[in-house]
Amino acid sequence: MAYPPEPFRIKTVEPIQQIGRAEREAALRAAHFNLFGLRSDQIFIDLLTDSGTGAMSDRQWSAMMLGDETYAGATSFYRLKETIDQIFGFAHFVPTHQGRAAEHILASLLLGPGNKVPSNSHFDTTEANIRARGSQPLNFVIPEALDFELDHPFKGNMDLPKLEAFIEQTGAENIPLGMITITNNAGGGQPVSMENLRGCSAIYRKHGIPFFIDACRYAENAYFIQQREPGYQDRSPLEIAKEMFALADGATMSSKKDGLVNIGGFLAMNDDELFARARNELILREGFPTYGGLAGRDLEAMAIGLREGLEPAYLEYRLGQTAYLVDGLVAAGIPALQPAGGHAAYVDAGRMLPHLPRLQFPGQSLSVELYREGGVRSVELGSVAFGYTDPETGKEVHPELELVRMAIPRRMYTQAHLDHVIASMSAIGQRVDQIPGYRIVKAPELLRHFTAEFEPV
């Protein structure tokens, strides 16, 4: 495996430091063992998320000076529109402050009590926005996705026969929206093939179900298609992206990922009537349609970031860096998901800490331990983030996988930083049986992982 060097050099630096072990312990207690409660100056390497945390380029920073802060009709909007039209090709879009705002608008326009929304795997904000409308999110990722070591090029694929059977059983009239997430974040940042997108589109269209792509990491997905899917070797990521979006009726986008910006997103669609309603909803919740929830300068940064995120040299470096982290973890005997996904390494905490039952949250436990060991912040994507209490049975429902994710901010950390992460995880691997489980002391009903409080069992 090659790990191509950064196709950029560093012009600005932001100092970071590692606080001592006793201070980290105190910080954990003060945060009630929830890593979302830490202050950034208590963290050495922050792999909580790749969302909005990356470094912008000199071109983006200079474009921000051109930001047009006009309330209606800002030229910055039209520059962004040109980029979005070229890459995504939908008839309409509205800018939003981030991905979940796009999800909220879409859910409020299409969903009501008792509706169902299938996807390969919804991410937690999408799930929560669907549940908030009284609807039910369903995940039909292929079973290969759950096999941690299986070498499969497109572990993010939808299980098409299962999707088809589900629609027939449920009735298309109860499914006002069909989705797919590229890459599949909740399932390991794994890509979806063009063939699978085509199949998915055909099924949704056959049943008249509007098909929206959760496009956060579409550029990484496009690059995987170029590298892995027969027939795409000579196609650029831009061409592949266009082909993917031509299969759908719309997209929700958090530009904080492959848009290479610190804030921003959009909701795009083809349907004129739906767009008219989306615009009204946007005005009610986000702002006027030529700025959405953003400043003009943010629109400028996004217009350039979306293009930079599709550059082949950048994508080659980016996916190589993620593979470097995964390969290092695997070499250290850590059960990391293979093959590497696009934006993050995912560790199977359930397998790494087999002495902890699900209700003692092994993922939470491992992520706390990684901070304790090396000042590294990761995020739990297991029973805390995706578990919920079944409203019918009152019982706790666990997701299939108990994961800890180390997401790599874009253009930010070097290989030496990742070596520190690998060494920290490896040190934990030497003393797994001493690691405690946790119990939830306090938590809200939706998106509980952000604010839940824990204590060691």
CB of 282 to ligand P61, least distance (A): 15
Pick 49 or 115: Cβ nearer ligand P61: 49
In three-state secondary structure terms, 248 is coil
Binding site for ligand P61 (CB under 6 A): 49, 51, 98-100, 123-126, 181, 185, 214, 216, 254, 256, 265, 379, 385, 407, 449
Query: Which residues lie below 8 Å from residue 453, measured CB to CB, with a gap of 6+?
Result: 32, 33, 34, 440, 441, 442, 443
271: tokens are: 């349907």
Query: Which residues lie below 8 Å from residue 286, measured CB to CB, with a gap of 6+?
Result: 94, 95, 96, 97, 101, 105, 292, 293
Pick 128 or 167: Cβ nearer ligand P61: 128
CB of 187 to ligand P61, least distance (A): 10
Q: Please list the residues that pair with 179 across neighbouring strands.
A: 212
Report DSSP letters for 180-236, one per residue.
Answer: EESSBGGGTSB---HHHHHHHHHHHHHTT--EEEE-TTHHHHHHHHHHHSTT-TTS-
Pick 216 or 440: Cβ nearer ligand P61: 216
CB of 416 to ligand P61, least distance (A): 23
CB of 36 to ligand P61, least distance (A): 7
CB of 179 to ligand P61, least distance (A): 10
Which backbone phi and psi does 119 adopt, to 5 degrees?
-160, 175
Catalogue the long-range contacts made by 336-339 (C-beta closer than 8 Å, 24 or more residues apart). 336/148, 337/148, 337/188, 337/190, 337/403, 338/148, 338/149, 338/150, 338/151, 339/151, 339/152, 339/153, 339/155
Q: Among 380, 396, 376, 379, which Cα is nearest to 388's?
A: 396
In three-state secondary structure terms, 7 is coil
Could you give the count of Cα atoms lying within 13 Å of 316 in the half-sphere of its Cβ? 13
CB of 192 to ligand P61, least distance (A): 12
Euclidean distance between CA atoms 293 and 96, whole angstroms = 5
Pick 148 or 450: Cβ nearer ligand P61: 450
Which residue is nearest to ligand P61, using beta carbons?
A: 99
CB of 423 to ligand P61, least distance (A): 24
Pick 432 or 443: Cβ nearer ligand P61: 443
Pick 433 or 445: Cβ nearer ligand P61: 445
Pick 207 or 264: Cβ nearer ligand P61: 264
Q: Please list the residues that pair with 213 across neighbouring strands.
A: 180, 251
Pick 34 or 49: Cβ nearer ligand P61: 49
CB of 233 to ligand P61, least distance (A): 27
